[in-house]
């Protein structure tokens, strides 16, 4: 692997060089970690990034959901239809993002509006989940604003759920860990935008620096106002310090229209008043690794490919080429869409 670091992706469709590059998200970029008050000072300040979701451009196609499942290799259940378009019916440990459909009769215009909001982690500047989490290093925040769950350190206690003002994390009953959108930190780390943004056909989801995204949003808001949406605006709630996932809303004065998006989200006072050191004490006794070591170990592991793994991968490729294993070349044989006319 090249020692060259992957670039910071600046758009949803950033295409980094194809040769392997070293991660651009380093242990030293962590600015906050759950239940760890003694973090070393960050080595540098990354440019804050953001995902902007322009609800007025969303057609509810669920390409973002599909891309999320594909990229994260999750396996949501095939559920039933319960009389709505929302599927799965809620976020799950295997479905980190979800289109929520709301039918709204606008009393001012007499028009029906079908408001479709992509729900998922907002990546709060002041993350309630991180504050609530008692497991050292299970939730981290980088200096670019991404709030990441580190499953290796997660104990599945569910405190993050209570800490989240947006009701986002979901606890896996199988793996006993909490799951949510990572803003594709693993893609961002190698110079790519989030999978959902890349898949979005209408560019309703865009990604870049937070400043750029705010500027883009302002342009969209001008357009929406020209079309009669007087209260169009940006959703970047300050109660949680602003967010690194933002919405352009036609009715920014009524976020609740969009499947109960909170108007003024704040972290529960119970969580705020919770004293970090007190809750971690017991856990340290239970054998959870401490600060620096936990972080360093984590990041080194995530991005390292051993010689053995390389060999195994090569073997798979070779087999596929020979067709030696009936399935090696087409792991998704049953899933491949047809190409027919």
Partner 1 sequence: MTNSWTDVANTDLVVIMGGNAAEAHPCGFKWVTEAKHHRGAKLIVVDPRFNRSAAVSDYYAPIRPGSDIAFLMGVIRWCIENDKVQWQYVRNYTNASYLVREDFGWQDGLFSGYDEDKRAYDQTSWDYQMGEDGYILSDPTLEHPHCVWNLLKQHVDVYTPEFVENVCGTPKDRYLKICQMIGETSAPDKAMTSMYALGWTQHSKGAQNIRGMAMLQLLLGNIGIAGGGMNALRGHSNIQGLTDVGLMSNLVPGYLAIPRESEVDLASYMTSRGNKPQLPNQMSFWQNYDKFFVSFLKAMWGEHATAENDWGYHWLPKLDIAQYDAMKMFDKLKNDEVNIYFCQGFNPILAFPNRNKMTEAFSKLKLLVVMDPLATETAAFWENHGIYNDVDSASIQTEVIELPTTCFAEDEGATVNSGRWLQWHWAGATPPGEARTDIWIMANVFQRLRTLYQTEGGKLPEPIVNLSWDYHDPLHPEPAELAKELNGRAITDIPDPANPGSLLLSAGQQVSGFGQLRADGSTLGACWIYAGCYTEAGNMMARRDNADPGGMGTFLNWSFAWPANRRVLYNRASCDLDGKPWDPSRKLIEWNGERWVGNDIPDIAPTAKPHEVGPFIMNPEGTSRFFSRKLMRDGPFPTHMEPFESPVENPLNRRMVGNPVARIFADDLAGLGSREEFPCVATSYRLTEHFHYWTKHNRVNAVTQPEFFVEISEELAAERGIAKGDRVRVWSSRGQIWAKAVVTKRIRPLTCDGRTVHVVGIPIHWGFKGAARKGFGPNSLGPFVGDANIETPEFKAFLVNIERAAEQEVPA
323 sits near partner 1 (criterion: CB under 8 A):
yes
Supply the DSSP symbol for 211: H
Burial track 264-280 (b if 16+ CB lie within 10 A, e otherwise): ebebeeebeebebeebb
For 92-122, b where at least 16 C-beta lie within 10 A, e where not — what string? bbbbbbbbbebeeeeeeeeeeeebbbbbbbb
Q: Which is nearer to partner 1, 187 or 216 (CB)?
A: 216
- Beta strands in the chain, from DSSP E residues, in sequence order: 30-33, 49-54, 98-105, 112-119, 139-142, 147-149, 170-171, 178-179, 205-209, 233-235, 245-249
219-258 positions binding partner 1, by CB under 8 A: 220, 223, 226-227
Asked if 60 touches partner 1 (CB under 8 A), the answer is yes
Among 6, 21, 91, 95, binds partner 1 (CB under 8 A): 95
The answer to whether residue 58 forms part of the interface with partner 1 (CB under 8 A) is yes
CB–CB of 201/171 below 8 Å? no
State which residue, 180 or 220, has the beta carbon closest to partner 1.
Answer: 220
In this structure, what token pair is assigned to residue 184? 């594709």
Minimal distance in Å, beta carbon 94 to partner 1? 9
Contacts of 150 (CB under 8 A, 6+ apart): 137, 138, 139, 140, 298
User: What is the β-pairing status of strands 245-249 and 98-105?
Assistant: unpaired
- Minimum gap (Å) between residue 262 Cβ and partner 1: 23
Residue 69 beta carbon to partner 1: minimum distance, rounded to whole angstroms? 5
Query: 76: Cβ–Cβ under 8 A, 6 or more apart, which residues?
Result: 69, 88, 92, 94, 95
Among 45, 66, 218, 238, binds partner 1 (CB under 8 A): 66
Minimum distance between the CB of residue 77 and partner 1, rounded to whole angstroms? 7
Window 166 to 185, contacts with partner 1 (CB under 8 A): none
Asked if 210 contacts 49 with a C-beta cutoff of 8 angstroms, the reply is yes
Confirm or reject binding of residue 117 to partner 1 (CB under 8 A): no
Asked if 329 is part of the footprint of partner 1 (rule: CB under 8 A), the reply reads yes
Q: How many residues bind partner 1 (CB under 8 A)?
A: 58
Among 15, 45, 202, 314, contact with partner 1 (rule: CB under 8 A): 202
Q: Is residue 196 within the footprint of partner 1 (CB under 8 A)? A: no
Stretch that binds partner 1, among 42-50, 68-76, 205-213, 232-240 (CB under 8 A): 68-76
Q: Which of 78, 278, 285, 286 binds partner 1 (CB under 8 A)?
A: 78
Residues that bind partner 1 (CB under 8 A): 56-63, 65-66, 69-70, 75-85, 87-88, 95, 103, 105, 111-116, 201-204, 220, 223, 226-227, 320-321, 323, 326-327, 329-330, 333-341
């Amino acid at each position: 692997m090249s020692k060259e670091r992957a670039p910071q992706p600046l758009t949803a469709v950033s295409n980094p060089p194809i040769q392997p590059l070293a991660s651009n998200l380093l242990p030293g970029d962590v600015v906050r970690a759950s239940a760890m008050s003694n973090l070393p000072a960050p080595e540098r300040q990354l440019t804050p990034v953001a995902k902007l979701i322009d609800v007025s451009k969303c057609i509810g196609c669920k390409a973002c959901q599909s891309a999320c499942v594909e990229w994260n290799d999750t396996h949501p259940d095939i559920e039933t239809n319960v009389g709505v378009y929302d599927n799965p019916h809620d976020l799950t440990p295997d479905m980190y993002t979800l289109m929520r459909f709301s039918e709204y009769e606008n009393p001012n215009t007499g028009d029906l509006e079908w408001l479709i909001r992509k729900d998922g982690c907002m990546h709060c500047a002041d993350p309630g989940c991180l504050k609530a989490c008692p497991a050292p290093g299970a939730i981290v925040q980088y200096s670019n604003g991404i709030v990441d769950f580190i499953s290796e350190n997660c104990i599945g206690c569910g405190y993050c759920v209570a800490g989240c003002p947006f009701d986002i994390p979901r606890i896996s009953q199988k793996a006993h860990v909490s799951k949510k959108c990572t803003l594709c930190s693993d893609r961002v780390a190698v110079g790519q935008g989030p999978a959902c943004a890349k898949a979005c056909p209408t560019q309703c989801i865009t990604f870049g620096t937070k400043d750029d995204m705010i500027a883009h949003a302002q342009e969209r808001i001008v357009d929406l106002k020209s079309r009669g949406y007087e209260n169009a605006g940006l959703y970047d709630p300050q109660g949680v310090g602003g967010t690194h996932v933002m919405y352009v809303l036609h009715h920014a004065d009524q976020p609740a229209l969009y499947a109960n998006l909170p108007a003024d989200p704040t972290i529960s006072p119970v969580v705020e008043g919770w004293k970090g050191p007190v809750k971690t004490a017991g856990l340290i006794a239970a054998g959870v690794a401490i600060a620096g070591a936990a972080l360093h170990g984590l990041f080194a592991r995530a991005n390292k490919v051993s010689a053995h793994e390389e060999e195994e991968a090569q073997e798979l490729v070779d087999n596929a080429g020979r067709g030696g294993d009936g399935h090696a070349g087409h792991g998704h044989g049953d899933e491949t869409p047809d190409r027919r006319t």
